[in-house]
Amino acid sequence: MQKKKRIEIYDTTLRDGTQGEDISFTVSDKIRIAHKLDELGIDYIEGGWPGSNPKDMEFFNEVKKEKFSHARIASFGSTRKADKICEADENIQMLVQSETPVVTIFGKSWDLHVQKALKIPLEQNLDLIYDSISYLKKHFDKVFYDAEHFFDGYKNNPEYALKTLKAAEEAGTDCLVLADTNGGTLPFEIQKIVREVKKHINAPFGAHMHNDSETAVANSLILIHEGGSHVQGTINGFGERCGNANLVSIIPALMLKMGLGAIPRDNLKKLREVARFVNEIANLPHDKHQPYVGQAAFAHKGGVHVSAVMKTPRTYEHIDPELVGNHRRVLISDLSGKSNILYKAEEFGIDLSKSDEKTRYLVQMLKEMEHQGYQFEGAEASFELIMRKYLGEVPRFFRLRGFRVIDEKRSESEPTISEATVMIEVEGEKEHTASLGNGPVNALDNALRKALISFYPSLKQVKLKDYKVRVLTAEKGTAAAVRVLIESGDEETAWGTVGVSENIIEASYNALVDSINYKLFKDSLKKQKKKK
């Protein structure tokens, strides 16, 4: 059996990725991410540019103490300065002092940069490339040459761009990394240029693409298709301007669609986890619509789609979501049909059939509630409660006997004080409590929990994770109806609930009550299972 061609995966999240707007990692962050990338099976992890800033210097000092099972750490820098030899060039010497097994240096491939930025003769730039690589080859296991602006350089002066590659090849580079640094080259151009390049070089070559034309992933894949063996990118496409090629999309494309090796097959299931981990460390929200790993990547809403997916998932899914650690989701909305309801019923463990009159009623009820402004795509807990209440499966955990919310501002300089008073009844026993909050909804939430905790201690575990308000009838101004979406969670899971009203406090209350009822219902199911 012929062995699969294996592509080297080179991650530059910790260097190129940190040049993106809103991206900043501490040294400890970078160490944690490096270990996560190692667990995924990444071959090379570029840690930064030694000497460019204190943080990168500290990283390289600290990472020497760490052990990695697979990945090799790479340092990054530029060719020597035109007026210095390698032995006297501070940048080159800082690379050597980093003591990484791998180094990547970039050099100028575009004659425009040589003449306008470096302001040196074209031939002298070739010397910089050759000298730097040949010197570094004496100190590192591997030296990769990043041909900066290669594709723009080739389009402007193909003969000179090729000469820069030949200089790097003759110096002994382990890989010629062709970079679309401005991100403006399109896939068909990449293909045409790479086919010409292959006629003139013998060294392995790879891709380093930027995403300014939103083609970085496509450009990387076409270069690999044309014979490349090495691809660089970042997790989630982090990077300067519009970002770098997204390894989270490239890796499964290589393995599942192109039949190539990249990371260990079993590790592919960790892809979503790694993507979310890096977002969390960067303190950025997860991109719901990110291919392969996003929450919506395998979400189905239209009834026709859901019906087909239930029969044959391939009808509307390009891969099995489980392969990349994701999962299928069926959304509930006014576009839903019986198939959506049946899929959700099965997911919730509710016994329904297509011919059941209850199913038809639930579809109609859903469509009517969405017409009123409800939205269940981010509030599946509310929808599960609706289904179970209709089927008589949810007990009445408590009754509201009344609530009052007061906002008071005593002077211009003092903050507003919010106080909520709640009276509830549980099995004939009444509880009357009051609580303060940093706003009326927070005060109401606090008072409601305070009233219920003596009856249901597990509510102490519940935390309010997110709160969103959407105006539904903007033309009515301050009298508009609003939809409140709440995300809550305990130590094990998270769930979403929704409330709609022309009164924002009432809408919030409805969403809060659903959140509490959902927690209490799930707790009751656990108790029933334990008894069995």
Greatest CA separation found in the chain? 92
495 Ramachandran zone, left/alpha/beta (phi>0; psi -120 to 50): beta
User: Which two structure tokens, joined as six digits, stand for 220?
Assistant: 């990387």
Q: Answer yes or no: is 3 within a domain.
A: no
Helices (H), 328-474: 338-348, 357-372, 380-390, 440-452
Residue 2: inside a domain, yes or no?
A: no
- Summarize pLDDT for 75-101 with one digit per residue, the tens: 999 999 999 999 999 999 999 999 999
Q: To the nearest 5 percent, what fractions of the chain are helix, strand and coil?
A: 45, 20, 35
Residue 285, helix vs strand vs coil: coil
Res 2 pLDDT > 60: no
Q: What's the pLDDT score for residue 337?
A: 58
Residue 181 and residue 144 in one domain: yes
**294 found inside a domain:** no
Question: Is a pLDDT exceeding 50 seen at residue 412?
Answer: yes
The listed range with the strongest mean pLDDT (162-171, 271-280, 368-377) is: 162-171
Cα Rg for the chain, rounded, in angstroms?
29
Q: For position 472, what pLDDT does the model report?
A: 78
* Same domain as 336, residue 449: no
Residue type, 125: N
In this structure, what CATH number is given to the domain that contains residue 506? Answer: 3.30.160.340
Within-domain flag for 287:
no
Whether 159 is in a domain gets the answer yes
Rounded Cα gap, residues 293 and 304, in angstroms: 24
Q: Is the distance from CB of 10 to CB of 231 less than 8 angstroms? A: yes
Q: Are residues 149 and 231 in the same domain?
A: yes
Domain count of the fold of the chain:
4
Q: How far apart are CA 473 and CA 70, in angstroms?
A: 56
Within-domain flag for 241: yes
Looking at the fold, whether 150 and 74 belong to one and the same domain comes out as: yes
Compute φ and ψ for 319, nearest 5 degrees: -145, 170
What does the DSSP 8-state code read for residue 395? -
Identify the band that residue 336 occupies on the pLDDT scale cut at 50, 70 and 90.
low
C-alpha span between 485 and 474 (Å, rounded):
17
Q: Are residues 24 and 173 in the same domain?
A: yes
Domain span at 513 = 373-392+463-532
Asked whether residue 526 falls in the same domain as residue 507, the answer is: yes
Answer yes or no: do 233 and 338 share one domain: no
Residues 300/309, Cβ–Cβ less than 8 Å: yes
Q: Whole-prediction pTM value?
A: 0.71
Lowest pLDDT segment from 45-59, 85-99, 322-336: 322-336
Residue 241: the pLDDT is 97
Please write the tens of the pLDDT for every residue from 135-161.
999 999 999 999 999 999 999 999 999
| CB-based contact 498:386 (threshold 8 Å) | no
Beta carbons within 8 Å of 71's beta carbon, 6+ residues apart: 34, 37, 38, 42, 43, 44, 45
- How many of the other CB atoms lie within 10 Å of CB of 347? 13
Q: Evaluate whether 302 touches 310 at the Cβ level (below 8 Å).
A: no
Q: Is 191 helix (H, G, I), strand (E, B) or coil?
A: helix
Of 252, 282, 312, which residue is a domain's last? 282
Which tens digits make up the pLDDT trace of 27-37?
Answer: 989 999 999 99
362, 389 in Cβ contact below 8 A?
A: no
Quote the tokens at residue 144: 């990769």
Q: Same domain for 229 and 340?
A: no
pLDDT tens profile 211-244? 999 999 999 999 999 999 999 999 999 999 999 9
Tell me the C-alpha to C-alpha distance, in Å, between residue 83 and each of 89, 115, 118, 125, 341: 9, 15, 11, 11, 72
pLDDT bucket at 339, cuts 50 / 70 / 90: low
**pLDDT at res. 350:** 72
For residue 463, pLDDT over 50 is answered with: yes
Structural domain includes residue 367: yes
Query: Do 449 and 490 fall into the same domain?
Result: no
Tokens of 476: 């009515």
CATH value at residue 416: 3.30.160
- How does the average pLDDT of the chain come out, rounded? 90
Class of residue 72 by CB neighbours under 10 A (exposed 0-12, middle 13-18, buried 19+): middle
Q: Which one is predicted more confidently, 375 or 503?
A: 503
Q: Which of 41, 441, 98, 510 is nearest to 273 (CA)?
A: 41
What is the distance between the alpha carbons of residues 103 and 313, in angstroms, rounded to a whole number? 44
**What whole-number distance in Å separates Cα of residue 89 and Cα of residue 245?**
31
Residues 447 and 486 in one domain: no
- Do residue 305 and residue 435 come from a single domain? no
Same domain, 363 and 449: no
CA–CA separation, 416 and 485 (whole Å): 24
Tokens standing for 120? 């040196």
Whether 468 is in a domain gets the answer yes
162 and 197 Cβ atoms separated by less than 8 Å: yes
Mean pLDDT of 426-448: 92
